[in-house]
Structure 1
Amino acid sequence: MSSQQSTLRALAKAGMSLGVLRIASMALTLLVGILLARQLGAADYGIYALAMAVVTFTGVLTEFGLPLLAMREFASADAKQNWGEVRGLVKWADRFILTISAIIVGGFLAAALIWDFAKQSVFLATMMWAIVLVPIVAIAKFRGLALLSLGHTFAGQFAVLVLRPGLFVVALAVLWVSGSTLGPAEAMAWQFGAAFAALLCVLGLYLRYRPAAMLAAKPVNRWREWISATIPMGMTEGLRLLQAQLAIVLLGVMMTSADAGLFRVADASAMVGLVFISIVNVVCAPHLARLFAEQNLAELQRLLGVVAFAMTFVVGVVTVIVTPFAGPLMSLVFGSEFAASASPLVILLVGNTIACLFGPVSTLCNMTGLEKHVTVGSALAVVAQLASALVLIPLMGLDGAAISVVIGMLLWRLFLTVKVRQIIGIDPGILATDFRYLADALAQYATSLRSKNAGTKNGNP
């Protein structure tokens, strides 16, 4: 077997493992949303969602691109067998995360004790549990992505993607069956417990699978280079999270916590249809990088067209199926109080389908050295989303928030598409799909399946 075939086989295996984990994670996350919505109601669920949005923003300050840096540096060390730098990176990153976290968490908890936040408002009481998630999530993500880059996909992502939401589901289900009263602060406390258990699991797996050569290596400190690398990574990640949570925060500030809860349910439901997209992006990313490195732009163009068509087709089918039944579906799954989430859900689904027409353009940019344009595009998208939300939310409420999300989403992809056409000279979207190439690929796949089945019947597994 050639080295290229071995690499592609390893990539396919990793993609399948990650795909299974992400599908399981999305299912568990949706179940968490259902249980929380039914036990908390729209208003209290909105408070919980706002607290999670705030702590997500805060977490950017502690992570600041470090998990992505871990992926790059551990993969490089594995290839070069140069473990001193990653050992130094782990020590430096831990100090960075814990120092920033101590300032943020310590300052908030000190203020909470002085001004008795628990009695002032339900939101502040919820934040007292939410804020301590910051270092736990950061350290777990750092170790998990380090394991992922070393080829331990399942070990690296199981605790973060599956164990944490799974434990939270079990806790919420037990509380629901037992008839216990649940508030936003209590829900966040159980979320903290699940996250802490996931952290312990990640640390245990990291200690088990880290290379023995790494322990013997002398730590090398390149903190200036690491900071320089994390700045654009952290900015891009921060902008991505800001874009994802902005509508919830603005609804909580400009409207009510109930509106924030209703939108959180719509947004989480719309994300279910994007599981396929996240898997496709992970699987196709190395192929995009390889074809670009080889300057095989014709094959790169054909691959992008096929991927864009597959993304649009799958998300479009989900949109067509869900749209007519959105209202009854939301009421059935989350409760009658959440029927109002149906309209923003449909808007987000339609927006996601349109976005798929542009293909995996952000992944292409990250794989071809255009990551700075991804950061600039993210910034433009956040500004556009914020400006449109400030106008549309007072006029249209939940629908206005959903439309603002779609505006930011489409502007980002349009900006990146223009840059790709200008710099690389190809079209990443569905308009460039070579349907003859797609038909040939499907025919070859069908032939291989028939050959495999025939071999199995003849006793040749």
Structure 2
Amino acid sequence: MHNRHIARVRKVATNPALFAYGLKAGNALAAFAATALLARIAGPAVVGNYSFAVVTATLLGIVALHGLDLVMLREVAGDLRQANTGAARGVLRFATTSVAVAAAVITAIFLVAATIGQLSALLETDQAAMIGAAIGIGSAAFFRLGLAGLRAAGRPVAGQFWEGANSFVFAAIIVALWFAGLQVSALLAVLLFFGSQIASVAMVWVIVRRDARDWDAATPADGKRLRASGFPIMTIQGTQMFQDWLLFALVAGAASAAAVGALRVAMQVVMVIAIVVTTGETFIAAKVAGDLRAGRPDLVWRRHRRATLAMGLAIGPLVLVCILFPAQLLGLAFGPAFAVAGPALAIMAAGQATKIATGPIGGLLTMSGHEKWLLRFTVVGLALLVVLALWLVPIWGLEGAAVAQAVSVAFRNIAAFAAAWLLIPKEAPPAAP
């Protein structure tokens, strides 16, 4: 009996999923620490302008990616499961070429718009920070694409590590600036953030290219089919990022860049919850794709249950703290100037609690080819957010933005779980006689 308990403990302790969650937690803490230090040394206005620029560039990077990260993950993971490395290389080649062209075009257009100055005036943000963010469009796109390549090749833990390595680098630089007593502008913060990300992008693609070195010669990929699958995913990913961008824009117009900074740090705390969910989805995504290709949907739901339990244990306590003591948490972590966003944090944390209850459900729908349902739910969720934000932000300010975000998040999570429960079988098909 004693040996059996030891074996169980050893199995849990050496579980790659547990290690992945540990990496993700470390990454989230590093990002949290960087934002907290930046908030203390630069203040709410700089944090607001920096955040607006980073979110804008990341949103455009998602558009340049046009959903090919998850499409590539699904296709390459399935091809490798069937030892069809030529098809895997063809999909990888198509995805990198398509994303490179899109990123170059979007970056050029954005640079012209940002340099003219009308864009920054319209959005009431820092022009220099917006121009500096142009380097982040291609970086954000190839960062996500490279991480998908690592996970498709059976390296989920490596994907988790490199996804957060840039956060550690950025945090270390901010710490150095803090000790040196140097002032940090929004432009400098943007350049440091994307510079750290570009370093991670380079390392990720070195590994991806090394993994693909022994694959067979590429067979032509069906680009039309891949793009058709990718655009709904792009809409889903882009819409979720657009929601943050829209809330920042509305708060900036109704209040100030400092209010945007306060909302940003509240979102930074909530983001820890969302990151844990994303970890569950990305960690099991390749395995889910392989299970479905092998005709084993029962394994898919088993993985989902384990991931949901792990998510609840990992992030449940933080959700309670955010709901019960939001102002104290923000004041302690970021400074008294940010405690004004306490009620907004509590509201958004309540919305994120539905993510814990439903688990990493988005990955199941995407890997099973039902991404169009996610698109529909995302569109409805966006409509809810836009209507509520336009109505409530001018009245309630930060709290109005939080209500709009929480309602949208809760709707998407609950609707996606219901769809997955109905569309993905619970049991494996009976074996042929």
The answer to whether 1:144 aligns with 2:161 is: no
| 1:79–1:356 CA distance, 2 compared to 1 (3 A) | closer
**Structure 2 segments unaligned to the other structure (5+ residues):** 1-10, 427-433
Question: How far did residue 66 of structure 1 move?
Answer: 1.3
Other-structure match for 1:73:
75
Cross-structure match for 2:377: 377
Q: Shift of the alpha carbon at 1:78? A: 1.5
Give, in angstroms, the shift of residue 248 of structure 1.
2.3
Q: Is 1:165 aligned with 2:154?
A: no
Give per-residue Cα distances to partners, 1:88-123, cap 9 Å, x unaligned: 333333332222222222233345556699999862
Query: What is the match of residue 446 of structure 1?
Result: none
Q: Distance in 1 between matches of 2:310 and 2:396?
A: 33
Alpha-carbon distance in structure 2 between the residues aligned to 1:84 and 1:352 = 41
Deviating more after overlay: 185-194 vs 309-318: 309-318
Q: 1:40: which partner in 2? A: 42
In 1: Cα distance, 2:219 partner to 2:145 partner: 18
Determine the structure 2 residue equivalent to 1:248. 248
Gaps of 5+ in 1: 1-8, 427-461
TM-score when normalising by structure 1: 0.78
Residue of structure 1 equivalent to 2:229: 229
Residues 229-287 of structure 1 show CA distances to partners (whole Å, capped at 9, x for unaligned) of: 21222222222322344322322233321111111101111232455544444566657
* Aligned pairs for 1:168-247 within 5 A: 168-214=170-216, 217-247=217-247
Which residue of the partner structure matches residue 337 of structure 2? 337
CA offset at residue 57 of structure 1? 1.8
Structure 1 distance, partners of 2:89, 2:391, is 49
Rg larger in structure:
1
Contact 1:347 1:403 (C-alpha < 8 Å) held by counterparts: yes
- Conserved? CA contact 2:274–2:355, under 8 Å: no
C-alpha distance 135-389 of structure 1, shift in aligned 2 (>3 A): same
Structure 1 equivalent of residue 431 of structure 2: none
Which residue number corresponds to residue 405 of structure 1?
405
The aligned residue for residue 414 of structure 2 is 414
Out of 280-289 and 84-93, give the one that drifted further. 280-289
Where does residue 390 of structure 1 map in the other structure?
390
Q: TM-score, normalised by structure 2?
A: 0.83
Structure 1 pair 211–72 and aligned structure 2 pair: CA distance change class (3 A): farther
Aligned residues: 412
Instruction: Confirm or deny: 8 A CA contact 1:136 1:199 kept in the other structure.
Output: yes
**Pairwise mapping of residues 222-371 of structure 1 onto structure 2 (< 5 A)?**
222-274=222-274, 276-282=276-282, 286=287, 290=291, 293-294=295-296, 300=301, 315-371=315-371
Check whether the contact 1:52–1:130 (CA below 8 A) recurs between aligned residues: yes
Contact 1:164–1:194 (Cα < 8 Å) also in 2: yes
Q: Deviations over 1:177-211 (max 9, x none)?
A: 11111110111111122122112211222233324
Q: 1:354-403 CA deviation, whole Å, 9 max, x = no partner?
A: 45444554344345543321110111001001101111111111111111
CA contact (8 A) 1:119 1:125 kept: no
Asked if the contact 2:377–2:412 (Cα under 8 Å) also holds between the matched residues in 1, the reply is yes
What amino acid is the match of 2:93? K
Q: Answer yes or no: is the 8 Å Cα contact 2:377–2:416 preserved in 1.
A: yes
Q: 138-147 or 333-342, which moves further after superposition?
A: 138-147
Tell me if the contact between 1:235 and 1:375 (Cα under 8 Å) persists in the aligned partners.
yes
Matched with 1:31 is 33
Shift of 1:424: 6.2
What is the one-letter code of the residue matched to 1:391?
Answer: W
Moved more, 141-150 or 397-406: 141-150
Q: CA RMSD in A?
A: 3.4
- CA apart distance, 1:125: 0.6
Are the aligned partners of 1:50 and 1:252 in contact in 2 as well (CA < 8 Å)?
Answer: no
User: How far apart are residue 351 of structure 1 and its match?
Assistant: 2.2
Does the aligned pair in 1 maintain the 2:88–2:218 contact within 8 Å? no
Contact in 2 for aligned 1:88/1:219 (Cα 8 Å): yes
Say if 1:75 and 1:340 are closer, same or farther in 2 by CA, change over 3 A.
same
Distance change (3 Å), C-alpha of 1:82 and 1:411: same
Q: Give the conservation status (yes or no) of the 8 Å contact 2:323–2:347.
A: no
Asked if 1 retains the 8 angstrom alpha-carbon contact of 2:46 and 2:185, the reply is yes
Residue equivalent to 2:5:
none
Q: In structure 2, how many angstroms separate the alpha carbons of the residues matched to 1:219 and 1:303?
A: 32
Separation in structure 1 between the aligned mates of residue 60 and residue 51 of structure 2, nearest angstrom: 14
Task: Provide the C-alpha distance between the structure 1 equivalents of 2:111 and 2:425, rounded to a whole number of angstroms.
Answer: 53
